Structure 1
């Protein structure tokens, strides 16, 4: 979260995300098992060799899409006002990140729903959230005053990340819409409040 990514890194990230969208569309259409890495590469306009430079197995191809929402959430939290208590800042940023801003975001959420329903992608989903928790830990630590309890920061990152994960999983296995009752935003806020209620760190303001 320190410094802007280089132009090459942004290009690589954009390429990875485009491949992820292609893979998600193919997985939704054909299923994970019936889709090959070769087919993802062909549909993405890249060689199979290039595909394997970005991803070791076909299942990993959707990781950037699954991780995009979490990255946005952590970034929104990092950019929130330092005057807000940590708990409120996390809740606000989570609510914003779980609210689709346009038609493309709605489509991405529906892809996420399809991907979370496939048990073959469970390991990818867990790794995405483990990475998100590590990023969040660093951002929360940077926001807290010197001498803050590291265990409390770790618990905060774990609880907040779990809140988002559980909310998205509950939504994915329901028929709720992307906005309104039962939406990721509504479930995310509820889970965040319940899972973080007992943490002392939430009262800390930088």
Structure 2
């Protein structure tokens, strides 16, 4: 007679826990990139900062530069939801007001300073710049689908596709402008939140003529 077979070892990670690990790796990678540069940072160092092996880091990300992706892409779903719920007649620059008021920010709290430092690095680090631009490139179809849904148009319609491209470019320009202009500023979360919000509103107002 043989004993019944069964699985042993640790249970599989939940999707929520996997997302948390990805974010922890992203934060650790940014800290190392800022303090010692991308070239000097290794997968082993990133893993040690989080308490995981380099093998685990590479299981989640194909390269050290791609480790920062969760910080870049965290707000895409929030922004797409804002676009779907954008009331007819509301100025574009007011699009995120309800989200900001409810504290469901797309770049909030401690992450804001981290993302700001990361965006500044994209000026001098081609690998990070590629990840930054790819994130926006992949966000654009999500924005187009949200705008098409709001207008009752097919997802592949040209108008929401063009609108999404304009909207996407305005967002990226606003975040870059804010990050580069505040490079030497002292990190004050409340003030940073207000300044980023004002920058986003200005950028969206500039794009409003094409999205009205």
Give TM-score scaled by structure 2 length: 0.76
Give deviations 1:23-58, integer Å, cap 9, x for gaps.
112222222222111110111122211111111110
Name the CA distance, whole Å, in 2 between partners of 1:90 and 1:74: 15
Name the CA distance, whole Å, in 2 between partners of 1:93 and 1:134: 19
Structure 2 unaligned residues grouped into runs of 5+: 1-12, 186-190
2:18 to 12, 17, 40: 12
1:168 aligns with 2:175: yes
Contact (CA 8 Å) 2:92, 2:204: kept in 1 or not?
no
Contact (CA 8 Å) 2:136, 2:168: kept in 1 or not?
yes
- Greater relative CO, 1 or 2 (CA 8 Å, sep 6+): 1
Contact (CA 8 Å) 1:166, 1:191: kept in 2 or not?
yes
Q: Which residue of 1 aligns with 2:67?
A: 61
Contact (CA 8 Å) 1:73, 1:94: kept in 2 or not?
no
Q: Which residue of 2 aligns with 1:116?
A: 119
CA displacement at 1:164 relative to structure 2? 0.9
Q: Which residue of 2 aligns with 1:186?
A: 198
Name the CA distance, whole Å, in 2 between partners of 1:156 and 1:98: 25
Distance 1:57-1:34 versus aligned 2 partners, 3 A rule: same
Q: Which residue of 2 aligns with 1:22?
A: 28
CA displacement at 1:148 relative to structure 2? 8.6
Name the CA distance, whole Å, in 2 between partners of 1:99 and 1:114: 25
Q: Which residue of 1 aligns with 2:141?
A: 134
Name the CA distance, whole Å, in 2 between partners of 1:122 and 1:174: 18
Contact (CA 8 Å) 2:26, 2:68: kept in 1 or not?
yes
Structure 1 unaligned residues grouped into runs of 5+: 1-6
Name the CA distance, whole Å, in 2 between partners of 1:94 and 1:14: 27
Which has the higher Rg, Structure 1 or Structure 2? 2
